[in-house]
């Protein structure tokens, strides 16, 4: 699915942040939400949230990457399906308004598991599925709280705390589950 917002609007997230629109408030919430540690921002776009949280970013939109680099933000070309980082590289991974755009989200979550350190955290923001069931123009799938929690949990994560909803956006934190007893022994 071709995402044309950056071609049409440029670095619009930065303008919205400066104007403290709803998106600006959302960005501030994410900034306060992410714990310290090395963080990868998947779908970094024009780099605003990547900048705010001091993360490394990837995106598959060449124009978005160019806009982020113009702002001095570390965003490189990559996809959620092939992150291009060694195993156990990150304490945190953020998918802010990304999972709904993925045709194969389970492939992306499996890739994220590889780059997260043991006890790593996966942060997801995504629109809450509307009661009408109508999804956004550029979205493959939108979730209810229950669907999102179940989907991510079935892929090797546990919900850190209750999924919060604010501004019709879900904010969810998941912990990477330890896969076997050897991982527990290696951490001690």
pLDDT in tens, the chain (188 residues): 666 789 999 999 999 999 999 999 999 999 999 999 999 999 999 999 999 999 999 999 999 999 999 999 999 999 999 999 999 999 999 999 999 999 999 999 999 999 999 989 999 999 999 999 999 888 999 999 999 999 999 999 999 999 999 999 999 999 998 764 344 434 43
Q: What CATH number is given to the structural domain containing 34? A: 3.40.50.150
Residues 6+ positions from 51 with CB-CB distance below 8 Å: 71, 72, 73
> 20-47: b or e for each residue (b if 16 or more CB lie within 10 Å)?
eeebbebbeebeeebeeebbbbbbbbbb
What is the domain count for the chain? 1
The whole-number pLDDT of residue 146 equals 97
* Domain span including residue 48: 5-187
Write out the two tokens for 146: 């229950």
DSSP 100: G
This prediction's pTM: 0.92
Alpha helix (H) ranges present in the chain?
5-9, 12-18, 22-33, 48-53, 62-70, 105-115, 145-154, 181-187
Q: What pLDDT does 138 receive?
A: 87
How confident is the model at residue 1, as a pLDDT?
A: 61
What pLDDT sits at residue 179? 63
């Amino acid at each position: 699915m071709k995402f044309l917002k950056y071609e049409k609007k440029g670095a619009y997230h930065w303008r919205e942040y400066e104007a403290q629109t709803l998106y600006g408030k959302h960005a501030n919430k994410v900034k306060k939400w992410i714990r310290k540690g090395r963080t990868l921002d998947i779908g970094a776009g024009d780099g605003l949230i990547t900048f705010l949280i001091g993360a490394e970013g990837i995106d598959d939109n060449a124009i978005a990457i160019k806009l982020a680099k113009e702002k001095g933000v570390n965003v490189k070309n990559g996809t959620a399906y092939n992150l291009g980082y060694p195993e156990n590289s990150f304490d945190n991974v953020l998918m802010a308004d990304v999972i709904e755009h993925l045709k194969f989200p389970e492939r992306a979550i499996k890739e994220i598991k590889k780059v997260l350190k043991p006890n790593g955290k996966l942060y997801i923001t995504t629109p809450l599925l509307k009661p009408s069931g109508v999804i956004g123009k550029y979205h493959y799938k939108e979730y209810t709280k229950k669907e999102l929690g179940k989907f991510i949990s079935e892929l090797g994560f546990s919900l850190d705390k209750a999924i919060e909803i604010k501004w019709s956006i879900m904010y969810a934190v998941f912990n990477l589950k330890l896969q076997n007893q050897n991982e527990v022994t290696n951490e001690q």
